[in-house]
Amino acid sequence: MEQAGARVPLELHADCSRCAALCCVVLPFARSADFAVDKPAGTACGHLQDDLRCGIHDRLRERGFAGCTVFDCFGAGQHVTAAFGGPAVRPDAAVADAFAVQRRLHEFAWYLDDALDRADAAAVHADARRALAAVVALAETPPAVRDAAVVDGLHREVDDVLARTSAAVRAAARAGLPGRRRDRRRADLVGARLAGADLRAVDLRGAWLMGADLRGADLRVADLVGADLRGADLRDADLTDALFVTGPQAAAARGNLGTRLPGRVARPTHWTGRATR
């Protein structure tokens, strides 16, 4: 599998050294299990230092800021920072709007790059490449002249490409699997007991899997686009070829060294426990 973004002329990985700490300033958060305090949009986090670095970056979870550890701008931060003049940019409303749109476009590109890596979806690749070209063109358009309606239309196009990619890839995988596969698209599986479950090639698109027990589950070639994995237990689970998995999804879940992820998704640093089998 190629490195994520190999086909995409956009950076899809955040580089905080080239960003004006946009996520720490423009985004709001509310006191909760994910954040220790309230912070309104447009106000710098109290832990942001003068050098635009987080003063508790290596202790975020311990200090009650787990929500920060599961956020990923997909490289939008450094792009917007450069577009507005560099690290000295003032993160005003225009920058905040540009950042929100740019992150959305970079996430589209992440998914389309995954789609283009799926040989079993070759029939969809031409449409995926066209959608990706449109995403890149819009991402490189100056923020001041971007049309939000065009972004919404592109979202629908990307969603269609991903759905057809998923159907093709999962159909090919199911041909070699025993029994019927019950799709659980947008299913309420909060806290579900799915340890050891065979979920290969299952459609879990948009499923609510918060707190689900997925220890040792087989999720190869399952479609996880938009699935909510907050607090899900993925210890020893196999997501090797799962479709459309993102870093934030993995970081929001619990895992260990026995959890197998798609090659394009980095292992969260807090997944430190040993494999249990």
- CB 36, CB 64: distance < 8 Å: yes
What angle in degrees, to the nearest 10, is found between the helix axes of 148-174 and 125-139?
A: 150
In this predicted structure, what is the pLDDT of residue 255?
97
Q: Residues of the chain with pLDDT > 70: what percent? A: 97
Separation between Cα atoms, residue 126 and residue 2, nearest integer Å: 18
In this predicted structure, what is the pLDDT of residue 87?
87
pLDDT band at 274 (very low <50, low <70, confident <90, very high): confident
Average pLDDT, the chain: 94
Q: What is the pTM of this model?
A: 0.93
Comparing CA positions, the residue from 147, 75, 78, 71 lying closest to residue 108 is 75
What would the pLDDT profile of 175-213 be if each residue is shown by its tens digit? 989 888 889 999 999 999 999 999 999 999 999 999 999
Give the pLDDT mean for 135-157: 92
Instruction: Indicate whether 3 pLDDT > 70.
Output: no
In this predicted structure, what is the pLDDT of residue 90?
87
Beta carbons within 8 Å of 268's beta carbon, 6+ residues apart:
69, 247, 250, 251, 255
In this predicted structure, what is the pLDDT of residue 8?
85
Q: Which CATH number fits domain 181-271: 2.160.20.80, 3.90.1150.10, 2.40.110.10, 1.10.150.650?
A: 2.160.20.80
Instruction: Indicate whether 2 pLDDT > 70.
Output: no
- Tell me how long the chain is: 277
Residue 117 burial (C-beta neighbours within 10 Å; 0-12, 13-18, 19+):
buried
What are the residue boundaries of the structural domains of the chain, listed by start?
16-27+71-171, 181-271
Instruction: Indicate whether 271 pLDDT > 80.
Output: yes
User: Residue 90: phi, psi to the nearest 5?
Assistant: -90, 120
Comparing CA positions, the residue from 270, 257, 231, 228 lying closest to residue 245 is 228
Q: Residues of the chain with pLDDT > 90: what percent? A: 88
pLDDT band at 17 (very low <50, low <70, confident <90, very high): very high
What would the pLDDT profile of 85-109 be if each residue is shown by its tens digit? 998 898 899 999 999 999 999 999 9
DSSP SS3 for 69: helix
DSSP code string of 102-136: HHHHHHHHHHHHHHHT-GGGGGGHHHHHHHHHHHH
In this predicted structure, what is the pLDDT of residue 53?
93
Give the pLDDT mean for 225-247: 97
Beta carbons within 8 Å of 246's beta carbon, 6+ residues apart:
72, 107, 110, 265
What would the pLDDT profile of 47-83 be if each residue is shown by its tens digit? 999 999 999 999 999 999 999 999 999 999 999 999 9
In this predicted structure, what is the pLDDT of residue 1?
39
Task: List the single range of 19-23, 40-44, 176-180 with lowest mean pLDDT.
Answer: 176-180
What would the pLDDT profile of 121-145 be if each residue is shown by its tens digit? 999 999 999 999 999 999 999 988 8
